[in-house]
A and B are shown apart, each in its own frame.
Chain A
């Protein structure tokens, strides 16, 4: 809920119309779509594994089955984060992703929260609704029957209830909250610590309404799977997202660069990394319940890089590779391609250092603490890398234009607002 309007910078470039280059561009776009398909399919495969782990948790609640579900969630994030570079620029992804990866959330909508969370806010009347504890409630003047918690209820009534984006009822982060619970450690180490007994049967149940909590978790996981199935299909042969990208070379290449630049700059460097640091607020972490933020940042960066290089390693180790934007740029300006690759490398080593530090016990929460110079340096190195690579992305945009043979009848040039409607 960062702002009312998501405004993606969209890069509409004029690209050479020469036949050779056109062929090459077409190959680049096909490979870009192939990689998208592989990434969404990997997200789906790992979400199904999560679903199996959730079933096991519900069937036999224990510390072990809860732990296994958490591990499955973390594994599912690896391919998904790498898809985020597809979000900006591909309208079909952008319109959809709010259901799957919306963040940050007012988690009191879903379940019980600590007293320090507070209640309804100026911005969100339903910040503490607690659907799990209430089988019927009033929402914007309408009585909602929530006796049964279903995907339809989450998707139809609860998600973005009252037009407030922080009312996140579906997707990875809703599931994350149900598995981990609130992280009450502030800027100390430690993730959310939901006891497995929150899913226990009968008298062993803690937190109240364990059956409804399980029902919510299952509904949200099923919904995630159906959403990922849908998106995977959009990138398959003949899928709408694929067709939109390959239909027009100029727009297709622009889409790739728009995704890379918008994710690098406004989204990741700005909203996700710098802001949390400036506010010293661990709730501004992207994966705040699970303390998985370092991985989230790392794989976002990785996704930007592998889209430029045209190579993606699947969760089963298979390689998806083909004509790359990198080779297209290199053919026109080898120095610029080297610069771009160098910048992406530099960002990845900064994000790698951040990930290593977190993996070795320096929690992302701690890095955000007031006056923690070492944490600040780690995060800012990532931010600076992302900001710096954005400049080079802008240069690539310019470069692809410079051979400028005008693209015929380009609506994108004459009537920019029509392009992404």
Chain B
């Protein structure tokens, strides 16, 4: 059941830095993506305010764009996304005990008034908030039509509002305080040395790759005897494979930034990413339904293997150039 994978490795001290990967990561990777998340999430709330019909093409498009923007930052699980459990409020997944449908059914069944205010909604089960809850409300055959129609509409609007305000708070925190914390390590800072700041970025990259391989791909794969296609991420909206591509594309960008002083290593890492992305693009199985057949399973497994290879490359080649060890992440539990 539980096999330890070594996910971090201490390496010898860093070579002299030639440029500042932290600045570039902030300016070209993190901040623009947080802005995009904030913008598309607000747009989702605006569209939902106009049209809360689950089948509405406008609403679904706006939802898809905002969810895309979230997946592109989903590896950045530190600082502003962790304060007040914001990342969980945006995205409670995986949900192995089915808390999201349970919590939504309970709200819809009782027309729970807690959703009437932002403050009230902030206190309901976190599984009823965010993009995965919205997916049930828009795409699940039962939950998209459950409850009193007016209440259902209010709930869609509340979830959208909540996503927008959480996204804006995350973005604002990055701009106002956290970017500076990361940029200016010091003895009294949150990050005491530049190495600690780099370690945070490196850790996010590894954690994101781990999540993609073990959860996004590993959960539906299950075991050979017992594939679990129903566990595919966001399968109701047909986004499972799309999330793998979006996450890899975004992490490729971060890796390129972190490896910028080492062109040879950067080239090898990017090549690994490109191989995985190419495999994903030609997979032709948007929700990994194929894991139940040997042939389909093989394709998903080979993609998973390519993602693992990216991770190994980063651990063995990128880590020493940054002088970092990976540290602990939220996937360390069981």
List A residues at the B interface (Cβ < 8 Å).
1-14, 88-89, 91, 94-95, 97-98, 104, 121-123, 160, 162-163, 165-166, 261-262, 264-268, 270-272, 274, 278-281, 370-371, 390, 393-395, 397-398, 401, 404, 406, 412-413, 416-417, 419-420
Contact = CB atoms under 8 A, between A and B. Distances in A.
Contacts, number: 176
Contacts of A272: 333
23 contacts: A1-B96, A3-B219, A4-B218, A5-B214, A6-B1, A6-B3, A7-B332, A8-B332, A9-B7, A11-B8, A13-B325, A95-B1, A95-B3, A262-B328, A267-B333, A270-B333, A271-B333, A278-B85, A281-B125, A370-B114, A370-B124, A395-B192, A420-B6
B147 interface: no
A10 B125 contact: no
A7 B7 contact: yes
A244 to B, nearest CB: 12
Nearest to A420: B4
A2 B98 CA distance: 12
A104 B11 CA distance: 37
Contacts of B332: 7-9, 88, 261-262, 265-267
A95 B99 contact: no
A371 B225 CA distance: 44
Contact of A264 (B88, B199, B328, B334): B328
Contacts of A97: 2
B328 A9 contact: yes
A88 B5 CA distance: 11
Contact of B219 (A4, A278, A412): A4
Contacts of A12: 6, 8-10
Given A8-B7, A398-B325, A3 B214 contact: yes
B13 interface: yes
Given A7-B4, A266-B333, 11 more contacts: A4-B218, A8-B7, A88-B4, A88-B332, A262-B333, A265-B329, A279-B99, A370-B125, A397-B10, A398-B325, A419-B6
A6 B98 contact: no
B230 interface: yes
B295 interface: no
A165 B334 CA distance: 10
Contacts of A261: 327-328, 332
Contacts of B10: 11-14, 397-398, 401, 413
Interface residues of B, number: 55
Given A162-B226, A265-B330, A6 B4 contact: yes
Given A123-B98, A163-B223, A417 B334 contact: no
Given A265-B328, A393-B328, A7 B9 contact: no
Interface of B: 1-13, 85, 88, 92, 94, 96-99, 103, 114, 123-127, 192, 195, 199, 210, 214-215, 218-219, 222-223, 225-226, 230-231, 312, 315-316, 325-334
Contacts of B327: 9, 261, 390, 394, 397
Contacts of A91: 4
Given A267-B332, A267-B333, A9 B8 contact: yes
B328 A394 contact: yes
A108 B119 CA distance: 36
B328 A163 contact: no
A197 to B, nearest CB: 31
A273 to B, nearest CB: 11
A384 to B, nearest CB: 11
Nearest to B94: A3
A9 B85 contact: no
Contacts of B219: 3-4
